[in-house]
Amino acid sequence: MSIGISIKLASDDITPSARALQRGLQPDRLFPIIGRSGVNTIREHLFGLNQTRPNALGGPRTNFYAAAARGTHFDVAADGAQISINQVGIAQRYFGGAISPRKAKYLTIPARAEAYGKRAGEFPDLVVLWGRHGPYALARAAQSAVSFRRGRDGRYKLIKGGARGGEVLFWLVKSATQPPDETVLPSDEAMRDQLDRDVGSYVQRLHRRGADTTGGAS
């Protein structure tokens, strides 16, 4: 699922710099400035989240927010710029809501660091753990562990027996509810402030270019 953000120019909330540009520029030149400003603001925010929100379980990171930042782009629309974030799961984190399995009967929730960012099917030795109300977890199959030592006579003798495996890798749930997290994206104020700065810089560049063309007139 992707998430889309629209940035439109309205007469009642347009910045002073953008209003000046609107009077003097065609939309096909102005709207890409708006789109690039929004994309850069969102990318910077997402890369920041990638640094400050590590995997809560530890272990290798999936770098979810960095991938979302790289998947952010814009398209020019009739009345502004349309920014899209092509990253599965980003809309779910922003809006929140119920999560239900699409094909299987249960969701698999990672219980250990090694399971984070992976599917249960990537572990060939998983077994289902059952409780009073049905299956509740997927765990590694327990195996016997045997150690031998070679004696002076050249024969191997059993010195220690035991078991290994049995660790729970995933909890099984029929559904889950994720709370919304608006901090996944920069605030509207941050977007407007950066847009004002970027458009203001663009106005200054146009002014300098105009001054150079007219021989330095202001």
Distance spanning both ends of the chain, measured CA to CA = 50
Strand partners, 75: 82
Q: What is the pLDDT of residues 55-67, one digit of tens each?
A: 777 777 889 999 9
Q: What is the pLDDT along the chain (218 residues), one digit of tens a residue?
A: 667 777 665 555 555 555 554 555 777 888 899 999 999 999 999 999 999 988 777 777 889 999 999 999 999 988 889 999 999 999 999 999 999 988 888 999 999 888 888 889 899 989 999 988 889 999 988 765 556 566 677 666 655 555 556 789 999 999 999 999 999 999 999 999 999 999 889 878 877 765 555 554 44
Number of Cα atoms under 13 Å in the Cβ half of residue 70: 5
Report the candidate in 83, 8, 40, 27 with the shortest Cα–Cα distance to residue 198: 40
Which amino acid is located at 139 in the chain? Answer: A
Tokens matching residue 90: 């980003």
Cβ(172)–Cβ(135) under 8 Å? yes
The reported pTM is 0.71
